[in-house]
Structure formats: C-alpha cells, structure tokens
Amino acid sequence: MLNIFALDIWSTPLKNEQGKARLLYRRIANLNMEDTAYMDIENLRDTIIKTGICRYGLNQYKVFLCTSNFFLGTCDYEDDADLRDDQEIDCFCIWFEDLTTTNRICAGGGYYKSLCEAVNAAENSGGFVKWLDSIK
C-alpha cells in the first residue's frame, strides 16, 4: 500500500508571495491513499471555550467555539481591508466535529472578531441544537 506523508503546520502562519500571512491546515500523518489529512479535537483542547451539539438527521456532532490569535481574512478584494487581510489579533473561530468519526474535526465555521458574532454564527449554522456548557 502506498503511503503519503503530510506536513504538520497547524496554526502556523506562513507568508505567501505578497508577504501576507496565511494559515495552512494539515496534520502530520502517515496516510494511506484512502485517508485524508484531518485535525483531532485534541489539537484544539486548549482553545475551546464553548461546546455545542448539532444534528444532521438522526446523527449528532459537536460544534466548538475556540479562541485564536490569528484572524484569517477573506482575501476578497471587494471586502474592506479589516475583513480582507489576515491579521494577528485575538479573535474566535468555529470548528465542527466529523459526523462519522468522533474526536475529529472535518470543517471550520469561520473566524470572528467578537464573541457575540461567533456565538451567533454557531447558533445559526444548520442543525444547531444547543450549547453543552457555558463560556469557559
């Protein structure tokens, strides 16, 4: 079986050609061709401030509200600079647990400059049911 090695650069800002910082999300893994790179919830453990439950059909999965010190910009030239450009600031982000594999992150729900924006975005995501805890 052919194996692939992916590079671990979680939450490591990298510079692109224009000198802008950009986060790349990959995980160290000795991957089989059938696998894809993923992030374990353990990678987020120190940044999680709130955990919720979402539902897709009969299945449940978790949503995590986390702190971050890097705001990932949209890179859309039509947006204002404060949303378009990456910034090293304290902010919040949302991550969703994989529906089929517990303790694995499968998708991000965006970066937000305020806690209120992040909470509202999580609560308005498809399938949101409830929060399991209060803000830590």
d(CA 36, CA 100) in angstroms, rounded, equals: 14
Domain-located, residue 109: yes
The domain containing residue 93 runs over which residues? 38-131
| pLDDT bucket at 29, cuts 50 / 70 / 90 | very low
Domain-located, residue 25: no
Rounded to 5°, the CA angle 93-98-101 comes to 140
Name the domain count of the chain: 1
Question: pTM of this prediction?
Answer: 0.68
Strand partners, 52: 63, 131
Tell me 87's DSSP state.
Answer: B
Domain-located, residue 10: no
Domain-located, residue 31: no
| pLDDT bucket at 83, cuts 50 / 70 / 90 | confident
d(CA 104, CA 102) in angstroms, rounded, equals: 5
Domain-located, residue 14: no
Domain-located, residue 15: no
Give the model's pLDDT for residue 36: 53
Which token pair is 58? 């009969």
